Amino acid sequence: MALLLPAAVVVFGVVLYPVIRTFVVSLYDVNSPMAGAYPFVGLHNYTRVFQDSGFYPVLGHTLYFTLVSTFAELTLGIAVALLLNAPLKARWLWRSIVVLPWALPTIVNGALWRWIYNGQYGALNGVLDSLGISHTPHQWLGSPFLALNMVILADVWKNTSIVVFFILAGLQTIPADLYEAARMDGAGAWKAFWRVTLPLLAPSIAVVLILRTIEAFKVFDIIYVMTGGGPASGTQTIAFYTYLQAFSNQLFGYGAALAYLIVIAVFVLAMAYLRILRQGQMAGVE
């Protein structure tokens, strides 16, 4: 029992205490970081979220970011993993290269892409120009919807790596004789992928899907570095908006309520995925 104490302290200190504290703060009209007697407002901060006209566009950006980035990372990740699972020359080298983007801190990745997209001296315009594709410089972060997509691209570049790892690990657990059996039954490469690879990869895909969806839903740092939420608030996500409300505007009670809604949304997502997964596995066992 005593051996569990350090773990318990850590869990309480860094998980439970902030979770409880944030909930308490969300019930009060806390508008300063300093201690004081703030009015108790019950669930007002939560109802206020839904009356806040600024919240809905932000929710839209977050859902778009989550759906598009997760889908892109997943499809790209599976494709790259299949490639790296094939008997390539210097496979270790390719695998190490794939790790690189993931090893970069998000802040560095954001700054890097901000430079690449720069309309004046960015590499992307430079490449398009030298390949003769486009000679007019584009402002990649200059209009709201384009900027959101460009931030997604930067996120995909970094996070596809983690998908590749999970899928590659999954691929290596698939026994080679299954493919042999499929081949003897007359299945081509495509059919083998659909009938053997994909069903057996389902658990790995599900895990990585949970991780990426949750991470994407909470996206903050890459936005902060690349666009600061602009232009015209077009790249503000819920986490970014929460940050603005809590720290820039010192509406800590409201910020706490927004943060709690993120927690609830993520929790529901995770539970839904786990349920689907559990059913899938039951079916697999049968």
Partner 1 sequence: MTRVPSVTSQILDAAPSRRGFLTGAGAVGLGGLLAACGVGGGSDKGAAGSGKGSIRALFMKQAGYSEENIRAMTSSFQKANPGVKVTTDFVSYEALHDKIVAAAPAGTYDVVLIDVIWPAEFGSKHIVADVTSKWPASWKQKMLPGAVATPQYDGKLYGVPWILDTKYFFYNTAHLQKAKVDPAQLDTWDGVMKAARTIKASGATTYPLVWSWQQAEALICDYAQLVGAFGGTFLDDSGKPAFNQGGGVQAVEFMRQSVVDKLSNPGSTQSLEEDVRRVFSAGQASMALNWTYMYGLADDPKQSQVAGDVAVLQTPKGTQGRPGVNGSMALAVSSGSKQQKAAWDYVTYLTSQPVQDKYALSSLPVWQSSYDDPKVVKTNPAVVPQAKKQLGDMILRPQVQSYNAVSQALQAEIQNALLGKKTPQKAMDDAASKASSLLGS
Rule CB under 8 A: which residues touch partner 1? 16-17, 19-21, 23-25, 27-28, 30-36, 38, 118-121, 139, 141-144, 169-170, 173-174, 199-200, 203-204, 206-207, 227-233, 243-244, 247-250, 252, 274, 277-278, 281, 284-285
Cα–Cα distance measured from residue 238 to residue 235, given in angstroms and rounded to the nearest whole number: 10
* Nearest to 166, CA basis, from 120, 111, 129, 215: 215
CB of 259 to partner 1, least distance (A): 15
Long-range pairs, 226-229, Cβ under 8 A, ≥24: 226/110, 226/113, 226/114, 226/117, 226/141, 226/151, 226/154, 227/141, 227/147, 227/151
Q: Among residues 161 and 235, whose Cβ is nearest to partner 1?
A: 235
Q: Among residues 93 and 272, whose Cβ is nearest to partner 1?
A: 272
Q: Among residues 40 and 94, whose Cβ is nearest to partner 1?
A: 40
Q: Among residues 40 and 71, whose Cβ is nearest to partner 1?
A: 40
The two structure tokens encoding residue 14: 């860094």
Q: What would the DSSP string read from start to end of 174-204?
A: S-HHHHHHHHHTT--HHHHIIIIIHHHHHHH
Q: Among residues 104 and 111, whose Cβ is nearest to partner 1?
A: 111
CB 62 within 8 A of CB 217: yes
CB of 56 to partner 1, least distance (A): 14
Q: Among residues 94 and 194, whose Cβ is nearest to partner 1?
A: 194
Cα–Cα distance measured from residue 113 to residue 8, given in angstroms and rounded to the nearest whole number: 40
Dihedral of alpha carbons 213, 214, 218, 219, sign: negative
Residue carrying the six token digits 């794939």: 98
CB of 89 to partner 1, least distance (A): 29
CB of 93 to partner 1, least distance (A): 26
CB of 118 to partner 1, least distance (A): 7
CB of 38 to partner 1, least distance (A): 5
* Nearest to 142, CA basis, from 80, 217, 231: 231
Q: Among residues 63 and 203, whose Cβ is nearest to partner 1?
A: 203
CB of 90 to partner 1, least distance (A): 28
CB of 109 to partner 1, least distance (A): 18
Cα–Cα distance measured from residue 207 to residue 205, given in angstroms and rounded to the nearest whole number: 6
Q: Among residues 88 and 232, whose Cβ is nearest to partner 1?
A: 232
Quick count: other Cβ atoms within 10 Å of Cβ 88?
A: 12
* Nearest to 233, CA basis, from 62, 107, 72, 45: 62
Triad 160, 115, 152: Cα angle to 5°:
35
